[in-house]
Structure 1
Amino acid sequence: MKKAAVEAVAASKPSDLLFGKILSVNPLRVTVDQKLTLSEEFVFTTYAYSQMIQVNDNVVMIRAQGGQKYLIIDKVV
């Protein structure tokens, strides 16, 4: 029973923290790893951060449940 519950949660892709690197600002593109590059239709920023974003910034993001939308929450220093 416990195994089934754990697998169900994992399959639903609950929100998670991810780290990425800004590839371009306009249009916004973020690489998460060698296999995943996110375009601006999947990545959102807060107003404050959108004013400071630069190419090659390392960022931390929250992945929305289901894994289709990502929110950049800050720059990694």
Structure 2
Amino acid sequence: MTDILKLIKRITLDAVNSQKLSDIVYGTVISENPLKVQIDQKLTLDEAHLKLTKAVKDHEVEMSIGSGSMQIYTVYNGLLKGDKVTMIRAQGGQQYLIINKEVV
């Protein structure tokens, strides 16, 4: 009975590991508009496969400095050609979430 349980456990672990539910992936921006990120020599991702977080997009924030009045400021975090990015690959490998870029 113990051998059967070990076999079932191994089969289950192999099945879960083969699905690659998510993974950390690194790439380089090779084009800004349209956005393209190269992961390796064989794989380049285009906008259809990429999702961006606020950490890698230009966006506006409302804030005050000291006790001053609230003002809107633009944060320039957009991706530029040559930026190295960290991504999470979603299950199945069809979608990638760019979570941050390397600071050089």
Give TM-score, length-normalised by structure 2.
0.67
Which portions of structure 1, spanning 4 or more consecutive aligned residues, are displaced by more than 2 angstroms?
none
Q: Secondary structure at the match of 1:66?
A: helix
User: More helix per residue: 1 or 2?
Assistant: 2
Cα distance in 2 for residues equivalent to 1:64 and 1:58: 19
Could you tell me which runs of 5 or more consecutive residues in structure 1 were left unpaired when the two chains were aligned.
none
Q: AA paired with 1:22?
A: V
Question: C-alpha root-mean-square deviation of aligned residues, in Å?
Answer: 1.3
Which residue is 1:29 aligned to? 36
Cα distance in 2 for residues equivalent to 1:6 and 1:67: 20
CA drift of 1:11 comes to 2.4
Identity of aligned residues (%): 48
Cα distance in 2 for residues equivalent to 1:76 and 1:6: 33
User: More strand per residue: 1 or 2?
Assistant: 1
Give TM-score, length-normalised by structure 1.
0.88
